[in-house]
Amino acid sequence: MKKNFTLTFALLLCFFWIGGNAQTQFWSDTFDASPTSGIRTPEENGGVGGPPNTSYFRLTDGSTVSQNVTFTGKQGTNYWAGEDHNAAGTGFTSSGAEGAITNSPLNELSINWTGINISGKTGLSFRGLFAANSTNEPWDNVNACLSGAGTTNTDYITVQYRIDAGAYVDLIRFFNKGSATNGMHKYLFEDTDGNGCGDGTQLTNVFGEFIKTISGTGTTLDIRINVYSEGNNEEWAIDNFRLFETPTCTAPTITGNPPNRTICAGNNTTFPSNATGATGFQWQVNTGSGFTDLTNVAPYSNVTTNTLTVTGATAGMSGYLYRCVAYNATLACFTNTNQATLTVSSISTATGSQTNVSCFGGSNGTATVIPSGGIAPYSYSWSPSGGTGTTASGLAAGSYTVTVTDNIGCTATRNYTITQPPTLNGSTVVTNVACNGGNTGAINLTPFGGTPGYTFNWGGGITTEDRTGLAAGTYSVIITDANGCTRTVSGITVTQPTAVSGTTVVTNIACFGGNTGAINLTPTGGTGPYTFNWGGGITTEDRTGLAAGTYSV
């Protein structure tokens, strides 16, 4: 006998998209356990032959049935499979109430799922896995799809549904197409136009998923699958039936938009928002390439609450835009807040200049800062002195710090060290006058300190560094360096010796005409040692053996 069957199924809860609308899975039957709601009622669950069964209509993991081509791609462990339902000895019985397809017996086999709760659900859809194959026996079809075959029956798989016990409506149907000459008689194809001949996607030994829309709403849903397979090797299988809904969206109402925030670099801030009718929140950021979801990774936290927290904002985050997505039940039912701008003030004091003190001990140093970034206008505070302007003046040598504060109180500092040249001075080496009343004195002046590039003023228009041809006396010089600093070196004394002289003790001649006279000369003044010249080549200091006469030395 040849039978077919009706299957009612359930779908696991999941989340996917159809036509741009978010769908939620609310029912499933994976055949590994009972359906998630409702009741699964098969007309048969067994087989004959084997083991494994060669004719069967049953729940299986694949090991209890004989398959010429192994089905692959199942979900979980078990699936429902069938082959040659009316083989001799099967003993299958049917309610005989379906008669889903003309020219097929009224005792087709079926599985029904009844009492699936769809109360309040809209946008229903069905998903299921289907597979079929035949390596020998053709899938019969009396609807002119298998011409010349001489068949009187039609093999098929159909899925139907009804809402609140109404009439069953076709959801998806599979039939043979073609003829024995083109080989298409060994396959089932989706019947997309309802004429009883396959013209759509082919079923193979690899489970393929089909998605169909269920029209209408109500309280309970029944689904059945009807199958008619009378030939050896006409093998089919189903798995993982699921139902989905498209929940009606009541978008949240934004009652509080996040404000713009302006903070200093390194500081923290929050972006609060609020919405009614929201079940969840997701914060997003636009760094310049569109909005993307945030995660709880520094500097962000609380990204799935209505208040975003930013910790330790950096200068690079200035100008970022933030918004909160408030959603109701699913992310597809949402309302965005207005976008808020984060402004991060980061002052730079990298640009500045200074003028050092020109003369040792002076106070004409200056320091200037030119801030950038931050939020103008700026204020300035110099320490330990310098005033409150962009330039501090009248500075002595030392260390100074300026603190720049922008319009929202963010600060930055810059340090300066004002220097000064060493003390300007000069050292001298004096050459005194050699002889009393002479002008052989000299002064060798060496300037140091200050800023090189010296000039000199000895007075009387004399501007040389050193002096020569000097008579005995006291001299002074004004040294001026390259910065105009001056130093007077005074009290430079050039000395001279006293005048050279001598005293004599004369011993006169004892006897007239004799030569016993003598002169004892003692030189004074001048600078010893002395030399003497009496004339006639006589160079001794004293004279003896002198005749009467007048002598000079």
Asked if residue 539 and residue 447 are part of one domain, the reply reads: no
The answer to whether position 488 is within a domain reads yes
Is the pLDDT at 27 greater than 60? The verdict is yes
Q: What is the pLDDT of residue 294?
A: 97
> What CATH number corresponds to the domain at position 275?
2.60.40.10
Is the pLDDT at 243 greater than 90? The verdict is yes
Answer for the pair 200, 188: CB distance below 8 angstroms, yes or no. no
In this structure, of 80-84, 123-127, 450-454, the range with the lowest mean pLDDT score is: 80-84
In this structure, of 70-84, 103-117, 360-374, 394-408, the range with the lowest mean pLDDT score is: 103-117
pLDDT band for position 537 (50/70/90)?
Answer: very high
pLDDT band for position 178 (50/70/90)?
Answer: low
The answer to whether position 120 is within a domain reads yes
DSSP labels, 81-108: EEE-TT-TT-----------STTS-TT-
> What average pLDDT does the chain have?
88
Residues 6 or more apart in contact with residue 517 via CB below 8 angstroms: 506, 507, 508, 509, 544, 545, 546, 547, 548
Is the pLDDT at 234 greater than 90? The verdict is no
When comparing pLDDT for 7 and 363, which is higher? 363
Q: What confidence tens digit (pLDDT) does each residue in 130-161 have?
A: 999 877 777 777 666 655 445 566 788 999 99
The answer to whether position 10 is within a domain reads no
Asked if residue 117 and residue 191 are part of one domain, the reply reads: yes
Q: What confidence tens digit (pLDDT) does each residue in 63-116 have?
A: 999 888 899 999 999 999 998 876 655 666 555 444 444 444 545 789 999 999
Asked if residue 477 and residue 330 are part of one domain, the reply reads: no
Per-residue 3-state assignment (H helix, E strand, C coil) for 41-86? EECCCEEECCCCECEEEEEECCCCECCCCCCECCCCCCEEEEECCC
Is the pLDDT at 408 greater than 50? The verdict is yes
Answer for the pair 342, 317: CB distance below 8 angstroms, yes or no. yes
How confident is the model over 197-216, as a mean pLDDT? 94
Asked if residue 308 and residue 289 are part of one domain, the reply reads: yes
Q: What is the pLDDT of residue 92?
A: 63
Q: What distance in Å separates the CA atoms of residue 362 and residue 173, rounded to the nearest whole number? A: 104
> What CATH number corresponds to the domain at position 483?
2.60.40.1080
> What CATH number corresponds to the domain at position 118?
2.60.120.260
In this structure, of 165-179, 436-450, 463-477, 491-505, the range with the lowest mean pLDDT score is: 165-179
The answer to whether position 9 is within a domain reads no
Domain termination site, one of 245, 263, 295: 245
The answer to whether position 1 is within a domain reads no
Residues 6 or more apart in contact with residue 536 via CB below 8 angstroms: none
Asked if residue 412 and residue 284 are part of one domain, the reply reads: no
pLDDT band for position 50 (50/70/90)?
Answer: confident
The answer to whether position 5 is within a domain reads no
Asked if residue 223 and residue 191 are part of one domain, the reply reads: yes
DSSP 4: -
pLDDT band for position 8 (50/70/90)?
Answer: very low
The answer to whether position 515 is within a domain reads yes
Asked if residue 448 and residue 534 are part of one domain, the reply reads: no
Domain tally, the chain: 5
Q: What is the pLDDT of residue 228?
A: 84
Q: What is the pLDDT of residue 17?
A: 37
Asked if residue 454 and residue 372 are part of one domain, the reply reads: no
Asked if residue 364 and residue 220 are part of one domain, the reply reads: no
Q: What is the pLDDT of residue 144?
A: 61
Domain termination site, one of 209, 228, 245: 245
Q: Which of 245, 242, 246 is nearest to 113 (CA)?
A: 242
DSSP 338: P
* Tokens of residue 29, six digits: 């039957």
Question: What single-letter amino acid sits at 80?
Answer: W
Q: What distance in Å separates the CA atoms of residue 504 and residue 525, rounded to the nearest whole number? A: 14
pLDDT band for position 247 (50/70/90)?
Answer: confident
Q: What is the pTM of this model?
A: 0.55
Q: What is the pLDDT of residue 311?
A: 98
Answer for the pair 310, 289: CB distance below 8 angstroms, yes or no. no
Answer for the pair 531, 500: CB distance below 8 angstroms, yes or no. no
The answer to whether position 553 is within a domain reads no
Domain termination site, one of 245, 263, 297: 245
Residues spanned by the domain of 305:
253-345
Q: What distance in Å separates the CA atoms of residue 93 and residue 44, rounded to the nearest whole number? A: 7
Burial category of 75 from C-beta neighbours within 10 Å (exposed 0-12, middle 13-18, buried 19 and up): middle
pLDDT band for position 498 (50/70/90)?
Answer: very high
Q: How far is CA 320 from CA 91, 297, 313, 344, 389, in A?
A: 74, 16, 11, 9, 33
Q: How far is CA 107 from CA 228, 278, 419, in A?
A: 9, 53, 111
How confident is the model over 14-34, as a mean pLDDT? 71
Q: What confidence tens digit (pLDDT) does each residue in 251-281 have?
A: 999 999 999 999 999 999 999 999 999 999 9
Asked if residue 56 and residue 102 are part of one domain, the reply reads: yes
- Cα angle 1, 104, 150 (rounded to 5 degrees) comes to 90
In this structure, of 18-27, 216-225, 309-318, the range with the lowest mean pLDDT score is: 18-27
Residues 6 or more apart in contact with residue 292 via CB below 8 angstroms: 284, 285, 286
How confident is the model over 451-480, as a mean pLDDT? 96
Asked if residue 389 and residue 409 are part of one domain, the reply reads: yes
Answer for the pair 237, 225: CB distance below 8 angstroms, yes or no. no
Asked if residue 224 and residue 259 are part of one domain, the reply reads: no
DSSP E strands in 257-346: the ranges are 261-264, 269-272, 274-276, 280-286, 291-293, 300-301, 307-310, 321-328, 330-336, 340-345
